[in-house]
Amino acid sequence: MARAWKSPVVARDNAPTPTAKQQSLPFAEPASLTGPLPPAKISLTPTAVTRLWFCIWLPNLPLEACRSSEAALAIVEEQHGIHRVLQADSVASAAGIMPGQSSNAALALLPTLTLEERSLVREQQVLERLATWLERFSSFVSIAGKDVLLLEIAGSLRLFGGLPHLRKTVSKGLRAQGFSAAMAIAPTPLAATWLARADRRVCIRAQENLGPVLRKLPLGCLDWPAGQRESLIAMGISSLGDCLRLPRDGFARRFGTERLLEIDRALGRLPDPRDSWRAPERFCADYEMTEEQSECALLLHICQELLLSHEQFLLARQLGTQRLYFSFFHLKSAATELQLGSAIADRSQKRWFDLLKIRFEALRLPEPVIAVRLRSGLSQPLQVDNAHLCFHAEGGKQQRRYSIAQLAERLAARIGEQSVSAISMVAEHRPEYAWKLQNPLSDWASNTLTTKSCVKRPLWMLPEPALLPADSGYPLYKGSRLTLLDGPERLETGWWDEQNISRDYYMAADGAGLRLWVFRNRQRTPNWYLHGIFG
């Protein structure tokens, strides 16, 4: 692109500013299509970066996107109210089924033929999946149209060991996934697309070599409307080279400026910006079954497959997640949701699967399952620890099986997250607020707070202070009168949040030697309460 820009740009920069008339009629010059470009409206500074576009054209995408495992398969599409064959697989083609036949004719030729309606949504999903896969080869992947993928590979050549090797790796990977592709490499995206469509397995690296190759291309590979193509052929123009000899203004008038701009972009005389495909940051995948299933082992196996693709998804991004959401869809009732939590961000399929198995034991599915969906929570950078070098012979045997975080998440997975907690101190005088429970999955307590109080506190705390009956001013516990051993310790605080307390705490002993922590309420009606046991 840069080389082609050079001569016209220098000339244009020195030339006087174009007049208003010239600007409004950019193609008014009586020159052929290859002649000098009309002045640009905006002065673009050309950069010295050379780009190289790798185009992958998937001609059999409608057939290959269909996951059916039938031997004889044909994809049909409705055209003018009649279902016509769009593509047929090798078995069907051998039986004489051709694209364009009506579905009835095809069935007459081969009664065992499976007909599948074309699904553009499915094809788009396949393209997106492939684009995500191709992200490993280039930082710039673009989906162009309904069956073309473009990669900018100028920056990837060195990493992947040169062009032939990269090309081989990509084609091998595509074949392994069951896709047949035509590939071409050119300095502009449009030229690469056209060359791939024409099935010219070429690789053009320099801009100046592009013109002669493009000139030979037939019009059939241009993806232009059929009517325009036919009228061009009627004019005696069958290749792109013939097209380029036409005058610019006449061509633009007959076929629209859009076509003219397309040719300019393909030749690299105009910039051709493309959208970069970005795979979603959160994982979401479905597994649809052909029939309802209720067998646990099978469902677990499906979940394991989903977890495996989830691991690969996160691996490509060097991320981990703390939450996973499974949905089990049923035909009639609402979907059963299952949520998994982990103490540290992780992506390992093994660890998530262990957690899932624990939860699965307790899961009751109301109905058989027809589809399973896995969504991942917010992704986070992985917390990676250094592995231990184990020099002791028996070290492996006595190693910890898993860390406390893993223990906590296993417990939380089985008995519920609110049932597992850590405790920490709070700087507070009121005994019931002097501590709090913490969720062990979110953050482990970092207890730096230490009590300065030298007054003894009970090891057991009652959830709520229990009212004690009293006998002539002394509390009774289980029928016997308590002896006050130590106290009082007066706590009078909490005026700021309506939970005002005013209490005298005592250590008391009952007849059997039990040590209790009791208090007398210093309010209008003084009452005795039991608040703790010294244990």
Partner 1 sequence: MSLEKLLENPRVWRGSSQVGARAGLASGYPKLDRCLPGGGWPFDALTEILIDQYGIGELRLLMPALAQLSREETQTHCSGSAESAEPGWIAWVAPPFQPYAPALQQCGIDLSRVLIVRPKDDSELLWSAEQALSSGTCAAVLLWPVTLDDQASRRLQLAAEKGHSWAIAFRPLSARQQPSAAALRLELQSTRQGTRVHILKSRGGRPAVLDSLL
The packing angle between helices 163-176 and 120-134, to 10°, is 140
Indicate the residue among 91 and 411 with the shorter CB distance to partner 1: 411
Contacts of 176 (CB under 8 A, 6+ apart): none
Indicate the residue among 114 and 424 with the shorter CB distance to partner 1: 424
- Cα 167 to Cα 59: distance, rounded to the nearest angstrom: 18
Sheet with 82-88, strands from edge to edge, namely: 82-88, 73-79, 114-117
Interaction site with partner 1 (CB under 8 A): 388, 390-392, 394-395, 398-404, 406-408, 410-411, 414-416, 419-425, 431, 434-435, 437, 440, 444-447, 450-451, 453, 456-463, 511-516, 532-535
Return the DSSP state at 431: G
CA angle 179, 182, 183 (to 5 degrees): 115
- Cα 164 to Cα 54: distance, rounded to the nearest angstrom: 12
Residues paired with 183 in a beta bridge: 56
Indicate the residue among 168 and 457 with the shorter CB distance to partner 1: 457
Minimum Å gap between C-beta 464 and partner 1 is 10
Indicate the residue among 24 and 419 with the shorter CB distance to partner 1: 419
Indicate the residue among 73 and 441 with the shorter CB distance to partner 1: 441
**Residue 465: its H or E element:** strand 460-468
Indicate the residue among 44 and 423 with the shorter CB distance to partner 1: 423
Which residue from 6, 55, 2, 4 is spatially nearest to 186, judged by alpha carbons?
55
Indicate the residue among 205 and 515 with the shorter CB distance to partner 1: 515
Residues paired with 138 in a beta bridge: none
Indicate the residue among 399 and 442 with the shorter CB distance to partner 1: 399
Minimum Å gap between C-beta 481 and partner 1 is 14
Indicate the residue among 120 and 455 with the shorter CB distance to partner 1: 455
Sheet with 148-152, strands from edge to edge, namely: 141-144, 148-152, 53-57, 182-186
Indicate the residue among 240 and 420 with the shorter CB distance to partner 1: 420
End-to-end CA distance of the chain: 84
Contacts of 280 (CB under 8 A, 6+ apart): none
Residues paired with 532 in a beta bridge: 461, 517
Strands 141-144 and 182-186: unpaired
Tokens (6 digits) for 271 = 């910039």
> SS3 for 72-108, per residue?
CEEEEEEECCEEEEEEECHHHHHCCCCCCCEHHHHHH
Minimum Å gap between C-beta 445 and partner 1 is 5
Cβ atoms < 10 Å from Cβ of 412:
24
Residue with tokens 């009627």: 234
Type of residue numbered 160: F
Minimum Å gap between C-beta 431 and partner 1 is 8
- Cα 77 to Cα 86: distance, rounded to the nearest angstrom: 6
Cβ atoms < 10 Å from Cβ of 479:
9
Tokens (6 digits) for 181 = 């592709």
Indicate the residue among 29 and 432 with the shorter CB distance to partner 1: 432
